[in-house]
Structure 1
């Protein structure tokens, strides 16, 4: 499995609106993406923490194909919002990982 994480700083005042926009974008652009195992948005528990968008792909090739897809362009069509967050996760720190061990569902 190939995992991509995007860290997104969002001011507390705009958190609720950011979550709504990000969730709507995920629901609109991710269904049917070949090789996408799952995607989730993690809310920080600590004040001043950052959101983390996590996407799991079958492999690096599936991720690369998504990056070239219309789905990717649609998800990233919007720039930063007034609250400083981004509905598409742009502008965060993107990290990639390969699964070494996975237990459970």
Structure 2
């Protein structure tokens, strides 16, 4: 549901109706409604390529949208495979530690 709420938020930021977004995505308006309301059945959930196209149309970060949809972007999957111990530690870290790590990494940009 978090994914759908974000899709709706970004769509409204662009000033689009569900119909506008459906036309951009070449899907039905009812499908966009189901995405936004989290009413998709197992086989109907958006594919990674659909989510990337959606991010492009909504002008938002594709990796963020993928993660909101519960999908891990390829670049992150590869890093996880290369450094599994690091990601296990990140998964076990408390929020304060993660905030510190994020601040440290942000300084490097």
Question: Shorter-chain-normalised TM-score: which range?
Answer: 0.3 to 0.5
TM-score (norm 2): 0.32
TM-score (norm 1): 0.33
Larger of the two Rg values belongs to structure: 2
- Work out which structure has the larger RCO, using CA pairs closer than 8 Å and 6 or more positions apart in sequence: 1
Q: Which has the higher strand share?
A: 1
Q: Which has the higher helix share?
A: 2
